[in-house]
Amino acid sequence: MERVVDWQAPLLPVAGGGVFPVRSVWCVGRNYAEHAREMGVDPERSAPVFFSKPAQALVMADRIDYPPDTADLHHEVELAVFLRAGGRNLSPAQAKASVFGYAVGVDLTRRDVQARAKATGQPWEMSKGFDQSGPVGLLVSEKDWKPDAQARIGLLVDGEQRQSGRLGEMLWPVPELLAALSRTVTLGPGDAVFTGTPAGVAALEPGQRVRARIEGLPELDFTLVAG
Protein backbone atom coordinates (compact mmCIF):
# COMPACT_ATOMS: atom_id res chain seq x y z
CA MET A 1 0.00 0.00 0.00
CA GLU A 2 1.33 3.44 -0.90
CA ARG A 3 2.23 5.68 2.03
CA VAL A 4 0.05 8.77 2.01
CA VAL A 5 1.97 10.70 4.65
CA ASP A 6 5.70 10.57 5.37
CA TRP A 7 6.13 11.89 8.90
CA GLN A 8 8.41 11.19 11.84
CA ALA A 9 8.08 12.22 15.45
CA PRO A 10 10.59 14.86 16.57
CA LEU A 11 13.69 13.14 17.95
CA LEU A 12 15.44 14.90 20.83
CA PRO A 13 19.03 13.94 21.76
CA VAL A 14 19.65 12.45 25.19
CA ALA A 15 22.82 12.98 27.21
CA GLY A 16 25.02 9.89 26.97
CA GLY A 17 23.49 8.78 23.65
CA GLY A 18 20.15 7.91 22.15
CA VAL A 19 17.12 9.97 21.19
CA PHE A 20 13.68 10.61 22.67
CA PRO A 21 10.76 10.53 20.16
CA VAL A 22 8.13 13.09 21.13
CA ARG A 23 4.48 12.00 21.02
CA SER A 24 2.54 14.81 22.73
CA VAL A 25 3.42 18.02 24.57
CA TRP A 26 1.38 19.09 27.61
CA CYS A 27 1.87 22.30 29.56
CA VAL A 28 0.54 23.77 32.78
CA GLY A 29 -0.06 27.37 33.70
CA ARG A 30 0.03 29.04 37.11
CA ASN A 31 2.18 26.43 38.85
CA TYR A 32 4.31 29.02 40.70
CA ALA A 33 2.46 31.30 43.12
CA GLU A 34 4.24 34.54 42.17
CA HIS A 35 3.69 33.95 38.46
CA ALA A 36 0.01 33.25 39.10
CA ARG A 37 -0.20 36.57 40.95
CA GLU A 38 1.54 38.48 38.15
CA MET A 39 -1.05 37.01 35.77
CA GLY A 40 -3.85 38.29 38.06
CA VAL A 41 -4.86 34.94 39.62
CA ASP A 42 -5.07 33.93 43.28
CA PRO A 43 -2.86 30.81 43.48
CA GLU A 44 -4.66 29.53 46.55
CA ARG A 45 -7.90 29.21 44.61
CA SER A 46 -6.75 27.96 41.19
CA ALA A 47 -6.49 24.36 40.03
CA PRO A 48 -3.88 23.32 37.42
CA VAL A 49 -4.63 24.83 34.01
CA PHE A 50 -3.46 22.47 31.25
CA PHE A 51 -2.96 23.19 27.57
CA SER A 52 -0.98 21.61 24.74
CA LYS A 53 1.56 22.36 22.04
CA PRO A 54 2.11 20.33 18.87
CA ALA A 55 5.01 17.89 19.10
CA GLN A 56 6.76 19.77 16.29
CA ALA A 57 6.96 22.86 18.52
CA LEU A 58 9.79 21.24 20.50
CA VAL A 59 13.18 22.13 19.06
CA MET A 60 16.79 21.96 20.15
CA ALA A 61 18.57 24.78 18.31
CA ASP A 62 20.84 27.75 18.98
CA ARG A 63 18.79 30.02 16.69
CA ILE A 64 15.03 30.45 17.06
CA ASP A 65 12.95 32.46 14.58
CA TYR A 66 10.97 35.35 16.00
CA PRO A 67 7.41 34.27 15.13
CA PRO A 68 4.98 36.15 12.90
CA ASP A 69 1.68 37.64 14.07
CA THR A 70 3.01 39.10 17.33
CA ALA A 71 4.57 42.24 18.73
CA ASP A 72 4.77 40.87 22.28
CA LEU A 73 6.65 37.57 22.49
CA HIS A 74 7.28 36.42 26.08
CA HIS A 75 9.71 33.92 27.62
CA GLU A 76 8.73 31.37 30.28
CA VAL A 77 11.51 29.10 31.62
CA GLU A 78 10.25 25.69 32.76
CA LEU A 79 11.31 22.24 33.87
CA ALA A 80 10.33 19.85 31.07
CA VAL A 81 9.55 16.25 32.03
CA PHE A 82 9.68 13.38 29.52
CA LEU A 83 7.78 10.12 30.03
CA ARG A 84 8.75 6.50 29.36
CA ALA A 85 5.29 5.19 30.33
CA GLY A 86 1.87 6.51 31.29
CA GLY A 87 -1.77 5.65 31.79
CA ARG A 88 -5.01 7.10 33.17
CA ASN A 89 -5.76 8.06 36.77
CA LEU A 90 -2.19 7.56 37.92
CA SER A 91 -1.20 7.90 41.54
CA PRO A 92 1.71 10.29 42.24
CA ALA A 93 3.95 7.25 42.81
CA GLN A 94 2.93 5.71 39.47
CA ALA A 95 3.44 9.03 37.74
CA LYS A 96 6.92 9.40 39.21
CA ALA A 97 7.83 5.90 38.00
CA SER A 98 6.74 6.88 34.46
CA VAL A 99 9.42 9.58 34.09
CA PHE A 100 12.21 8.99 31.58
CA GLY A 101 14.12 12.23 32.14
CA TYR A 102 14.26 15.99 32.32
CA ALA A 103 15.45 19.08 30.45
CA VAL A 104 15.34 22.85 30.63
CA GLY A 105 12.55 24.23 28.46
CA VAL A 106 11.21 27.63 27.44
CA ASP A 107 7.53 28.12 26.68
CA LEU A 108 7.49 30.99 24.16
CA THR A 109 4.16 32.82 24.19
CA ARG A 110 2.60 35.33 21.80
CA ARG A 111 1.14 37.31 24.70
CA ASP A 112 -0.79 39.79 22.54
CA VAL A 113 -2.43 36.93 20.63
CA GLN A 114 -3.34 35.31 23.95
CA ALA A 115 -4.75 38.56 25.35
CA ARG A 116 -6.94 39.18 22.30
CA ALA A 117 -8.32 35.64 22.45
CA LYS A 118 -9.05 35.83 26.17
CA ALA A 119 -10.80 39.19 25.75
CA THR A 120 -13.22 37.73 23.21
CA GLY A 121 -13.66 34.33 24.86
CA GLN A 122 -11.90 32.51 22.03
CA PRO A 123 -9.38 29.64 22.26
CA TRP A 124 -5.78 30.82 22.66
CA GLU A 125 -3.91 27.77 21.32
CA MET A 126 -2.21 29.85 18.62
CA SER A 127 -0.55 31.98 21.29
CA LYS A 128 1.30 28.88 22.51
CA GLY A 129 1.43 26.33 19.68
CA PHE A 130 3.35 28.05 16.89
CA ASP A 131 6.57 26.94 15.17
CA GLN A 132 9.59 26.58 17.50
CA SER A 133 7.53 27.65 20.52
CA GLY A 134 9.11 25.03 22.80
CA PRO A 135 12.92 25.21 22.78
CA VAL A 136 14.48 22.58 25.05
CA GLY A 137 17.97 21.75 26.27
CA LEU A 138 19.68 18.37 26.23
CA LEU A 139 17.62 15.65 27.93
CA VAL A 140 19.07 13.94 31.01
CA SER A 141 17.89 10.54 32.27
CA GLU A 142 16.10 10.42 35.62
CA LYS A 143 18.86 8.02 36.70
CA ASP A 144 21.35 10.89 36.43
CA TRP A 145 19.25 13.84 37.67
CA LYS A 146 16.12 14.30 39.76
CA PRO A 147 14.30 17.50 40.76
CA ASP A 148 15.42 18.96 44.07
CA ALA A 149 13.28 21.50 45.89
CA GLN A 150 16.29 23.76 46.40
CA ALA A 151 17.46 23.63 42.76
CA ARG A 152 17.39 27.07 41.20
CA ILE A 153 15.53 27.80 37.96
CA GLY A 154 16.10 31.01 36.05
CA LEU A 155 16.38 32.82 32.74
CA LEU A 156 18.66 35.58 31.48
CA VAL A 157 18.24 37.81 28.43
CA ASP A 158 21.46 39.37 27.11
CA GLY A 159 23.02 38.62 30.49
CA GLU A 160 20.24 40.30 32.51
CA GLN A 161 18.41 38.12 35.03
CA ARG A 162 14.70 38.07 34.16
CA GLN A 163 13.36 35.03 36.03
CA SER A 164 14.60 33.34 39.19
CA GLY A 165 13.13 30.80 41.58
CA ARG A 166 13.44 27.32 43.02
CA LEU A 167 11.75 24.12 41.92
CA GLY A 168 10.31 23.74 45.40
CA GLU A 169 8.12 26.79 44.73
CA MET A 170 5.90 24.73 42.42
CA LEU A 171 2.34 24.60 43.71
CA TRP A 172 2.05 21.04 42.32
CA PRO A 173 5.33 19.06 42.36
CA VAL A 174 6.06 16.86 39.34
CA PRO A 175 4.43 13.59 40.58
CA GLU A 176 1.25 15.37 41.70
CA LEU A 177 1.11 17.41 38.50
CA LEU A 178 1.45 14.33 36.29
CA ALA A 179 -1.18 12.49 38.34
CA ALA A 180 -3.60 15.42 37.92
CA LEU A 181 -2.96 15.54 34.17
CA SER A 182 -3.60 11.78 33.90
CA ARG A 183 -7.11 12.34 35.21
CA THR A 184 -7.81 14.46 32.13
CA VAL A 185 -5.86 12.67 29.37
CA THR A 186 -4.16 9.32 28.95
CA LEU A 187 -0.42 9.85 29.29
CA GLY A 188 1.96 7.67 27.31
CA PRO A 189 5.57 7.03 26.30
CA GLY A 190 6.95 9.97 24.36
CA ASP A 191 4.93 12.61 26.19
CA ALA A 192 6.62 15.82 27.29
CA VAL A 193 5.20 17.95 30.10
CA PHE A 194 6.20 21.56 30.74
CA THR A 195 5.67 22.18 34.46
CA GLY A 196 5.12 25.94 34.76
CA THR A 197 7.24 29.05 35.15
CA PRO A 198 8.32 31.33 38.00
CA ALA A 199 7.58 35.06 38.02
CA GLY A 200 9.38 37.52 35.78
CA VAL A 201 8.02 36.69 32.33
CA ALA A 202 8.68 39.56 29.91
CA ALA A 203 8.99 40.47 26.24
CA LEU A 204 11.74 39.41 23.87
CA GLU A 205 13.07 41.12 20.75
CA PRO A 206 14.90 39.78 17.66
CA GLY A 207 18.63 39.61 18.24
CA GLN A 208 18.40 38.91 21.96
CA ARG A 209 20.18 35.94 23.51
CA VAL A 210 18.24 33.76 25.94
CA ARG A 211 19.94 31.55 28.52
CA ALA A 212 17.65 29.28 30.56
CA ARG A 213 19.03 27.36 33.52
CA ILE A 214 18.06 24.73 36.07
CA GLU A 215 20.76 23.59 38.48
CA GLY A 216 22.24 20.25 37.43
CA LEU A 217 20.78 20.21 33.89
CA PRO A 218 22.46 21.29 30.64
CA GLU A 219 21.83 24.97 29.94
CA LEU A 220 19.49 26.03 27.16
CA ASP A 221 21.04 28.85 25.12
CA PHE A 222 19.54 30.38 21.96
CA THR A 223 19.33 33.65 20.03
CA LEU A 224 16.13 35.03 18.52
CA VAL A 225 16.50 35.92 14.86
CA ALA A 226 14.19 37.98 12.69
CA GLY A 227 11.93 35.68 10.73
Per-residue pLDDT 10s for the chain (227 aa) are 666 777 788 999 999 999 999 999 999 988 987 656 665 666 665 678 899 999 999 999 999 999 999 999 999 999 999 999 999 999 999 999 999 999 999 999 999 999 999 999 999 999 999 999 999 999 999 999 999 999 999 999 999 999 999 999 999 999 999 999 999 999 999 999 999 999 999 999 999 999 999 999 999 999 999 97
pLDDT over 70, % of the chain: 93
- Residue 28, helix vs strand vs coil: strand
What is the per-residue pLDDT across 115-128, written as a single tens digit (0 to 9) for each?
999 999 999 999 99
Please state the separation of Cα 80 from the chain's center in Å. 5
d(CA 207, CA 63) in angstroms, rounded, equals 10
Whole-angstrom Cα distance, residue 111 to residue 67?
Answer: 12
Query: Distance between CA atoms of 125 and 71, rounded to whole angstroms?
Result: 17
Which superfamily does CATH assign the domain made up of 11-225 to? Answer: Fumarylacetoacetase-like, C-terminal domain (3.90.850.10)
So where are the chain's domains?
Answer: 11-225
Q: In this predicted structure, what is the pLDDT of residue 73?
A: 98
Give the CA radius of gyration of the chain. 17
The pTM is what?
Answer: 0.94
